């Protein structure tokens, strides 16, 4: 599925959200439904710095694409990571590096977050781009 189609699917998740509280609840639900994350992947190298909560992001390359998985001790942070994972997992490093998460602004997600959460979201995206750069040489 293309990045554009993934963004359309993400937009669908929020079509019935008519308030900041509904947006926030949808993000929390995404966090609640995150994939299981192994304790052995909760290592310094996977730590996302700058998040208000503890956040780990692991990545791996397969067939020219990068895949992500995240864990956080806060559901809202886990949900924010899931939004980015839904968009960027399975994409090439070039797409991850060149496509900003403008869909978040279009969904008005930053206005539903505190400044610390917005910073954490930016840090998650930055970590994804750093991981994409690391994997370019291994692909």
Beta strands in the chain (DSSP E): 55-62, 65-72
33's tokens: 């439904």
**What domain range is 33 assigned to?**
3-136
Beta strands in 5-139 (DSSP E): 55-62, 65-72
pLDDT at 95 over 60: yes
Q: What is the dihedral of CA 56, 103, 114, 111, to 10 degrees?
A: -170
Percent of the chain with pLDDT over 70: 99
Catalytic member of 51, 87, 109, 128:
51
51: annotated active-site residue: yes
Mean pLDDT of the residues in the chain: 93
13's tokens: 């998740």
* pLDDT tens digits along 32-91: 998 889 999 999 999 999 888 999 999 999 999 999 999 999 999 999 999 999 999 999
The number of domains in the chain is 1
What is the CATH classification number for the domain harbouring 23? 3.90.1010.10
């Amino acid at each position: 599925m293309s990045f554009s189609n993934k963004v359309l699917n993400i937009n669908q998740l929020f079509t019935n959200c008519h308030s900041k509280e509904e947006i926030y609840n949808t993000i929390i639900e995404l966090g609640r439904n995150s994939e299981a994350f192994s304790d052995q992947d909760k290592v310094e190298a996977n730590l996302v710095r700058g998040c208000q909560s503890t956040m780990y992001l692991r990545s791996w390359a397969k067939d020219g694409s990068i895949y992500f998985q995240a864990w956080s001790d806060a559901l809202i942070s886990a949900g924010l990571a899931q939004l980015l994972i839904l968009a960027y997992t399975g994409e090439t490093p070039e797409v991850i590096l060149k496509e900003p998460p403008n869909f978040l602004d279009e969904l008005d997600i930053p206005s539903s977050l505190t400044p610390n959460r917005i910073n954490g979201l930016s840090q998650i995206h930055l970590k994804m781009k750093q991981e994409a750069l690391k994997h370019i040489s291994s692909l």
